[in-house]
Amino acid sequence: MEAALHVTTDSRRVQVASLFVALRGRQTDGHVWIPDAVRRGAVGVVGEDPTWVEWFRTQAPSIPYWVVRAARPAAARLTRVLYGPALDRLVVMAVTGTKGKTTTVHWVQDALRRLGVPCARVGTLGMDPDVGLWTGLTTPEAPDLGEYAHHLVRQGISHMAIEASSIGLDQYRIDGLRVTVAAFTNLGHDHLDYHGDMEAYYRAKLRLFDEDYWGLRHVVLHTDDPFGRAILRDRAFRRATVVTVGTCGDPTTACEHTIHGVVRSSGLWGARGVLWGPGLEKPLEWSIRLSGSYNISNFLVAWAMAASVLPADRWPDLVEAMAAFSGAPGRMERLEFPDGRVVVIDYAHTPESLELVLQHLRPQVPGRLIVLFGCGGERDVTKRPRMGAVAARYADFVILTDDNPRREDPQRIVADIEAGLRAVPGAPPWSVIHDRRTAVHTGLAMLRPGDCLLLAGKGHEDYQIYGTTKVSYSDRQTVLEWMIDHVETR
């Protein structure tokens, strides 16, 4: 066998001297791409299916085929062997949680860069810098992350902030890395179509906090969330520095959090307050441009993550750097009309995230709060009526529409949501408009000065998925195009 210089789980990325790892997925089996990988020059193949041994004996006798019990851990180990020196030179800061990962990772990267620390980012919105390796997964496959780390080190980038999704953790995607900082934001109702129940979902997140396995040096836990406190209970940290974060009433009183933020004022403009904790001679004044209590929590987690890799004398500079952050695309993104009409675009697609957004918007909106959303097809069906009930409790009018129905009947999805709306006494009126562009146009036409239209669920996404086909579509672009046609300029 020739020496392997590259590892991949995608046959299309096989090159000369590549080792191909065949992964079994939920919808496709990577073993079917073995012939393609061999044709493209793979020098070896790793898989789980022993029936392919005969194919290699007759069709590719010079190419070794290794049968393993679990291909994903094998891919991570091979990544570690191939890219180990580069991986050890990179400071990896990983955050997991149902909500807030994207904002937190963007915030950490933005702040460190402003302070002169070269920092990359990996997550839902891609890789930055982009070297052509992102495949659309929040947490890429282990070989892709290893190759990316190799590129970063060659470019002189020393730090990387990454979103560690529960599925990515369960599938060993970051297992090739050494994680320096592990952080947790919160846990809510999501991905149960994959994990089965909340206990399994939590256990997948808990993998990131195995101190010995990852070589953790710093742990950041949002302990306003009960699952953050559960991690403290379920993991014994002997060497890693553990920082808990949350909000408290006053910096001079006892608080259960290591780092606690005191909120002095907040609104749609953002929030301001003071930060207090060990290593600080006095409370630090902070202000952020992002609104909502959840973004205050994201700020605290991001601050603690970035502070853990900076000397204490730079912490005041870190607060100033974080004040300049304007938010990640599609996260509480505001588009305002001259007459006071407001559109908010947010990725909220779980009952908890939708409720947090609505709890924040409701007291800030002097007029009507119109909520437009749908639920993804072939995903957790139990959250649909719950999201309907959440909308019913806060909205003045609800528009139900499509949000990546995939191969499921969109009418069935909406009917599940409507069951939750009907269960709430005094529920507001609602309409069903399956075509999302038409639905958004309808919501925009309803707005009067003082009203707010929340477009929930898609956030940054620039597509709709019907069947297995992606169709170009963006909530933000749809709103901007409508504004051009309907807003008078002087």
| pLDDT mean across residues, the chain | 93
Q: Give the pLDDT band of residue 252 (cuts 50, 70, 90).
A: low
pLDDT tens column, 344-401: 999 999 999 999 899 989 998 999 999 999 999 999 899 999 999 999 999 999 999 9
Tokens of 216: 């953790």
Q: Which CATH code fits 76-323?
A: 3.40.1190.10
pLDDT for position 490: 42
Q: Give the pLDDT band of residue 251 (cuts 50, 70, 90).
A: low
How open is the CA angle 90-94-100, to the nearest 5 degrees?
Answer: 145
Q: Which of 304, 287, 286, 275 is nearest to 108 (CA)?
A: 304
pTM of the model: 0.83
Q: Give the pLDDT band of residue 272 (cuts 50, 70, 90).
A: very high
Please state the length of the chain: 490
* Domain locations along the chain: 6-69, 76-323, 333-486
pLDDT tens column, 202-234: 999 999 999 989 999 999 999 999 999 999 999
Do you find a cis peptide bond into 129, omega within 30 degrees of 0? yes
Tokens of 372: 């437009």
Alpha carbon distances (Å) from 320 to 105, 220, 288 = 17, 21, 9
pLDDT for position 222: 96
Q: With 50 as the cut, is the pLDDT of residue 404 above it?
A: yes
Q: With 60 as the cut, is the pLDDT of residue 306 above it?
A: yes
Answer with the residue of higher pLDDT: 485 or 403: 403
- Domain 333-486, CATH among 3.40.710.10, 3.40.50.300, 2.60.40.1250, 3.90.190.20: 3.90.190.20
| The residue to which tokens 């020059």 are assigned | 41
Q: With 90 as the cut, is the pLDDT of residue 256 above it?
A: no
pLDDT for position 95: 98
pLDDT tens column, 69-115: 999 999 999 999 998 888 889 999 999 999 999 999 999 999 999 99
pLDDT for position 16: 86
Alpha carbon distances (Å) from 380 to 98, 192, 268, 376, 458 = 14, 6, 31, 8, 16
pLDDT tens column, 453-463: 999 999 999 99
pLDDT for position 345: 95
Alpha carbon distances (Å) from 263 to 38, 58, 199, 282, 384 = 59, 69, 33, 16, 33
Q: For 6-69, which CATH superfamily applies? A: MurE/MurF, N-terminal domain (3.40.1390.10)
